[in-house]
Amino acid sequence: MVIRKQPIISWLLEEDYVFNPSLITVAQTTNIQHIGYLMNGVKWLGEIVRNKHDWGLPELLMPSFEKVMQKSAKSFFNIDHQLFQEFYEENECGILLAKDFGTIVYCFGENKLYVWLFKTINDISVLYDYFYFESTEDNVRHHYCWPSLINDPDLYDTTKDERLELYECVANLLITYLAVKKYAEVETIIVPNKTITIVEDTINEYKHKEKVRNESGQKVIIMDSRWFVKIINDNDIFVRGFFRLQNKKNELGEWYKELIFVDSFVRHGYHRNAKIEDEENG
């Protein structure tokens, strides 16, 4: 895997970067309204950039990390609104490099999650969708986007069901990812610019080894799932573990929440603890 330089990342992270509309543009479509909507999305992102948000380093999601998040997403549904509020208060924003969606730029506003989806085409950053979510106190999300954008054949060549699932998939990915990153001690790998790193993932029913070459012009963080995933023998019958937020006290006697992984039940087999548990046990 090669992480290439992207104008959108340079715009967000480099203070002296001069915005170039020929390098950061919107997807080509015959629908003028859609073009105008996407251009307004770039304009709104530019206003946020001028406020000098701390976007952090780009973060690359490894396939195993995404698989674990998909399985744990339901654990956060009952505190969805609380998470929205926490991420807004912390001015959470960032850049995710995800295989299925391209480059995801996100930023929280007051009770809102703004999302920009970019593809890199011939070294040009192309915005192909822009939307935002609001969260209600009863943990229901409301999605806002130009109504007909998702049906534009110039922008999407997927099936209708796949297009309709896009927004919810992106929201679940971001909320779950940020919750895991905040409440769990997740191992990260930093790949300096112009270097190569071998990343090896091993989780139940999934083994993956990949060479990552960083040519982005920036350091990139790789999110590795091994610190909070149990490895279980494929031949065993087991009940999968799950994530839970547990109340704990710090040294000052103050209560806080910590994300823990509840053990899977294994019958007639064995399992290997996640690295985080091995570390805690000395």
* 236 lies in the same domain as 215: no
Q: Which comes out higher in pLDDT, residue 145 or 278?
A: 145
User: What is the domain range of residue 129?
Assistant: 2-227
Separation of alpha carbons 61 and 69, rounded Å: 10
* 160 lies in the same domain as 265: no
What tens digit of pLDDT does each residue of 181-201 get? 777 666 677 878 777 777 665
Q: Identify the top-confidence range among 49-63, 132-146, 186-200, 249-263.
A: 132-146
Contact 31, 152 (CB under 8 A): yes
Q: pTM higher than 0.85 for the full model?
A: no
* 269 lies in the same domain as 209: no
* 153 lies in the same domain as 262: no
Q: Rounded mean pLDDT of 71-90?
A: 82
Rg for the chain (alpha carbons), in Å?
20
* 211 lies in the same domain as 262: no
What tens digit of pLDDT does each residue of 205-250 get? 445 677 777 787 778 877 765 544 443 334 444 445 656 677 788 8
Q: Which residues pair with 246 in a beta bridge?
A: 258
* 46 lies in the same domain as 135: yes
What tens digit of pLDDT does each residue of 93-120 get? 999 988 888 999 999 987 889 999 999 9
Pick the range with the lowest mean pLDDT from 71-75, 77-81, 111-115: 71-75
Separation of alpha carbons 279 and 32, rounded Å: 56
Would you say residue 70 has pLDDT above 90? Answer: no
* 35 lies in the same domain as 167: yes
Separation of alpha carbons 198 and 185, rounded Å: 21
Q: Rounded mean pLDDT of 147-169?
A: 83
Q: Rounded mean pLDDT of 120-144?
A: 91
Phi, psi (deg, nearest 5) at residue 70:
-60, -35
Percent helix, strand, coil in the chain, to 5, is: 30, 35, 30
Residue 266's pLDDT band (boundaries 50, 70, 90)?
low
Q: Which comes out higher in pLDDT, residue 35 or 237?
A: 35
Separation of alpha carbons 136 and 134, rounded Å: 7
* 217 lies in the same domain as 258: no
Residue 33's pLDDT band (boundaries 50, 70, 90)?
very high
Separation of alpha carbons 230 and 2, rounded Å: 29
Return the pLDDT at 2: 74
Residue 66's pLDDT band (boundaries 50, 70, 90)?
confident
Residue 270's pLDDT band (boundaries 50, 70, 90)?
very low
Contact 199, 187 (CB under 8 A): no
Q: Which comes out higher in pLDDT, residue 280 or 256?
A: 256
Separation of alpha carbons 1 and 62, rounded Å: 11
Share above pLDDT 90 across residues of the chain, in percent, rounded to a whole number: 25
* 274 lies in the same domain as 166: no
Separation of alpha carbons 161 and 73, rounded Å: 20
* 270 lies in the same domain as 203: no
Residue owning tokens 């940020």: 178
Show which of 227, 252, 269 is a domain's final residue: 227
* 114 lies in the same domain as 189: yes
* 169 lies in the same domain as 183: yes
271: left (phi over 0), alpha (psi -120 to 50) or beta: beta
Would you say residue 273 has pLDDT above 70? Answer: no
Q: How many domains does the chain have?
A: 2
Return the pLDDT at 271: 41
